[in-house]
Chains A and B, each alone.
Chain A
């Protein structure tokens, strides 16, 4: 029931969340919507992946969570990228690019 993105590479979800937060703080639902919209409905992140991932980021100190009021007046936790998180994002993006490049090379060679 769309409870997970189609086989993401390990660690990619964390990267995607960090990237989603670069534009400003968002709540969990917002992040999921953002990812779905940006991926043209391909990446449907379920709660059971999203929230543990968010806790992982909190634990590592890459994001911080603050309670606020949502656009329709509900209490929600907003996640913001920390300085460490921003640094992490660039590292992970570079890492990801290298990985994708490597995969591309392999696939091309196979063809």
Chain B
């Protein structure tokens, strides 16, 4: 009840006390008048009789609102007035804090969305995945054959499922053919993940038996866009890769697995499933541990099985590693987790630096305010009240900075999230996020934001507040400035400054390394002239192009048709675009005739099948020998071009021209024997941390198995025009063959570098902010010194010191701080950049150019920041400076 009444009182606009007291006064005047006091004296007499009515009102208000609370609101009003008056200071402080808040919150939200969120599956902690790390350090999936062994032998998994990503073409009576991302999955996959269909049913084991009726489950998104959300889609027969297939289910909204997938088919429908070898490691794995089983058991079991398999099957690389990971971790690149934690650490440090700078700014300001504070202390303000005033001003800066920072962090978060965009083959302009990236802000994000705010405000306010609380009133009044505690506070400020410079350097170095790596990729001669080259993909449906002969015939007709039409000035076909090293087929290679040890591990080459005008169209130079010609495919051991790297590895110093090599897939298939007719330059490594790839370029018709997909590469200034032209030509050969994955080679190049560019830009942004903050810090620190020593400067100048000497007086301190900070920062950077080597290509993590550039740049910027207040010191008018009182 009391609380309710208190609230009602607070909500009332007018407490009535004023008019009540006014009434009292009037009554008093009446009373005095009745006593015969002359009218002229009535007012003052009534005043005397009443006493202090302001006090009466205050004390009456105190009953309702505790005095401390009212003081606080007064302090806030006062603080706001002070900040508005000292606008420049307020803006610098708020922006400084906002930068720190924005960075830390954006990075935290990002790490939260990527790493801290649980997977959107049932009991996600029991879900594991298995990956293969090949001798080159590449992380890939598992082969179908190996998966089957595990499923048969393992005992710790409740269920173990495999999935194979593949784009498929979908058509039905009502809609045109569309190329969509599909996945062939074990029937148990959705049960393993613990996700049920939203509509219709899940796969059953009998759906995945040979000879079963073809069935499909579609994604919620596809159901809405292509089928208008019509529930009667269940049971409808559509055509997947030109084969009829019955839609049996729709998955829930936002469900996506293994990547962004639009439709799922049982594994047995995967084209040529039985011809996948031990080395086709393109299958993803999801396993659910039995309740109570530990990941260590799964590791031991998988290791035992895989090392037995490695003994039994020669083609399995001996030094590959099979790793069992929580499903969540398996989604991230191996070093991404540590990198993200490093980023989060850096962001928190930036927040700390920002708060420390605000502390320094406040400290610098307290010199200017020392008179005001001394007067307040002398007039009887309690020390706590003065400290509280400073803390409240900090909190105000904190609130404003946090609000601004949270707003800015939203942009930062969105920019960072772009790293997890998945561009679909069909719609490259409509990026989707991978399923394990959950951008929803949850409690953790708010909690972090709140904690960051509290930390920043307290860290910024505590130092100046403590400083003030220790200062002696007498000293302040005597000197007119805060004298005590300066030594310790100066030492603290200097340490802070050194730390800041070190942090800025530690962030700048990786930022610079990324920039160098990125520009390095552009600088290295691209070998291929990618200007105006457009790549387009055709995928032959297995049903109509079942045999290699049929496919070879189609490729021959295609090449002929394009050449005859003359729509492209230059064009070629090829099994892959050569700048996409990961998708290319590979073969184990050996020099023909050399005896191979039973245990020998053969090197792996990229095996690219080239059309007739391949080298010509790409302007791919031949270093020695000649390019491929049509006769090369005809002869008994067809001619091939190898790259310089392969020549060096296989033949050492010998001349490879005319020599013969063998290529095998590793299975029992007989090796292909090929004659080297030319040597091409090695393409630069488009992916970071990848050794130069060995490559063999063979004439397309010579390949006995013939690929299922073909890229058409043509020189054209417009992607759309090129695609339209190709569509017309292909239409005359096969009207049901969609042209997809239309992309310029420059775009492909940009995409292969986007990871490094993304991570690089995070570091560069952080580094830039750290530098700005360090400058603010140095400025504040020097300004601090100048403010403190104005009188001393005056004396020095009066005694004949020149402006340069005065400037040096203050710059000397900055030099020392910068030097120490630089030394610490460079040492730290040297120790930590190794972490980044996975993301850097073409540049040594200890690259001296980057280190020196950073050191010089930081020194220059830092000195400039401290020079501004130092120069102000030199302009001090000695007469006024000495007479500060």
Q: A47-B51, A59-B2, A67-B16 are in contact. Are A74 and B63 (CB under 8 A)?
A: no
- A-B contacts, 19 of them at CB < 8 A, read A1-B48, A2-B49, A3-B51, A27-B20, A28-B23, A32-B24, A47-B50, A48-B53, A48-B55, A51-B17, A54-B60, A55-B60, A56-B63, A58-B5, A59-B64, A70-B23, A75-B19, A76-B23, A77-B19
Contact A51 B48 (CB under 8 A): no
Q: A47-B51, A47-B53 are in contact. Are A61 and B1 (CB under 8 A)?
A: yes
Q: Which residues of B contact A72 (CB under 8 A)?
A: 30
Answer whether residue A96 sits at the interface, using C-beta atoms and an 8 A cutoff.
no
Q: A55-B63, A59-B2, A61-B5 are in contact. Are A29 and B53 (CB under 8 A)?
A: no
Answer whether residue B311 sits at the interface, using C-beta atoms and an 8 A cutoff.
no
Q: A29-B27, A70-B23, A75-B19 are in contact. Are A52 and B49 (CB under 8 A)?
A: no
Answer whether residue B490 sits at the interface, using C-beta atoms and an 8 A cutoff.
no
Q: Which residues of B contact A77 (CB under 8 A)?
A: 16, 19-20, 23
Q: A29-B24, A75-B23, A76-B23 are in contact. Are A48 and B52 (CB under 8 A)?
A: yes
Q: A48-B55, A51-B56, A51-B60 are in contact. Are A1 and B23 (CB under 8 A)?
A: no
Interface size counted on chain B using CB atoms at 8 A: 31
Q: Which residues of A contact B57 (CB under 8 A)?
A: 51
Cα–Cα distance between A50 and B50 once the two chains are bound (Å): 11
Cα–Cα distance between A2 and B53 once the two chains are bound (Å): 13
Q: Which residues of A contact B61 (CB under 8 A)?
A: 55
Contact B56 A47 (CB under 8 A): yes
Q: Which residues of A contact B24 (CB under 8 A)?
A: 28-29, 32, 47
Q: Which residues of B contact A59 (CB under 8 A)?
A: 2, 5-6, 9, 63-64
Q: Which residues of B contact A38 (CB under 8 A)?
A: none
Answer whether residue B290 sits at the interface, using C-beta atoms and an 8 A cutoff.
no
Cα–Cα distance between A75 and B30 once the two chains are bound (Å): 15
* Minimal beta-carbon separation of A56 from chain B (angstroms): 5
Cα–Cα distance between A77 and B14 once the two chains are bound (Å): 13
Q: Which residues of B contact A65 (CB under 8 A)?
A: 16
Q: Which of A21-59 contact B (CB under 8 A)?
A: 27-29, 32, 46-48, 50-52, 54-56, 58-59
Cα–Cα distance between A67 and B17 once the two chains are bound (Å): 12
Answer whether residue A90 sits at the interface, using C-beta atoms and an 8 A cutoff.
no
Interface of B is mostly: helix
Q: A59-B6, A70-B23 are in contact. Are A52 and B50 (CB under 8 A)?
A: no
Q: A3-B51, A29-B27, A29-B28 are in contact. Are A51 and B21 (CB under 8 A)?
A: yes
Q: Which residues of B contact A58 (CB under 8 A)?
A: 5
- Choose from A27, A29, A52, A74 the contact partner of B56 (Cβ within 8 Å): A52
* Minimal beta-carbon separation of A69 from chain B (angstroms): 11
Q: Which residues of A contact B5 (CB under 8 A)?
A: 58-59, 61
Residue of B5, B28, B59 with highest tally of chain A CB at under 10 A: B59
Residue of A27, A32, A46 with highest tally of chain B CB at under 10 A: A46
Answer whether residue A12 sits at the interface, using C-beta atoms and an 8 A cutoff.
no
Cα–Cα distance between A75 and B22 once the two chains are bound (Å): 10
Answer whether residue B26 sits at the interface, using C-beta atoms and an 8 A cutoff.
yes
Answer whether residue B153 sits at the interface, using C-beta atoms and an 8 A cutoff.
no
Residue of A47, A52, A55, A76 with highest tally of chain B CB at under 10 A: A47
Cα–Cα distance between A55 and B10 once the two chains are bound (Å): 13
Answer whether residue B62 sits at the interface, using C-beta atoms and an 8 A cutoff.
yes
Cα–Cα distance between A77 and B19 once the two chains are bound (Å): 9
Cα–Cα distance between A70 and B26 once the two chains are bound (Å): 12
Contact B64 A28 (CB under 8 A): no
Per-position 1/0 for A53-96, Cβ under 8 A of B: 01110111100010100101011110000000000000000000
Contact A76 B20 (CB under 8 A): yes
Contact B20 A28 (CB under 8 A): yes
Q: Which residues of A contact B9 (CB under 8 A)?
A: 59
Contact A74 B62 (CB under 8 A): no
Cα–Cα distance between A32 and B28 once the two chains are bound (Å): 11
Q: Which residue of B lies closest to A44 (CB)?
A: B49
Contact A27 B23 (CB under 8 A): yes
Residue of A3, A29, A61 with highest tally of chain B CB at under 10 A: A29
Contact B23 A46 (CB under 8 A): no
* Minimal beta-carbon separation of A51 from chain B (angstroms): 4
Q: Which residues of B contact A27 (CB under 8 A)?
A: 20, 23
Contact B21 A47 (CB under 8 A): yes
Q: Which residues of B contact A61 (CB under 8 A)?
A: 1-2, 5
Query: Which 4 residue pairs are nearest across A and B when measured between Cβ atoms?
Result: A48-B56, A55-B63, A3-B51, A47-B56
Residue of B9, B27, B52, B59 with highest tally of chain A CB at under 10 A: B27
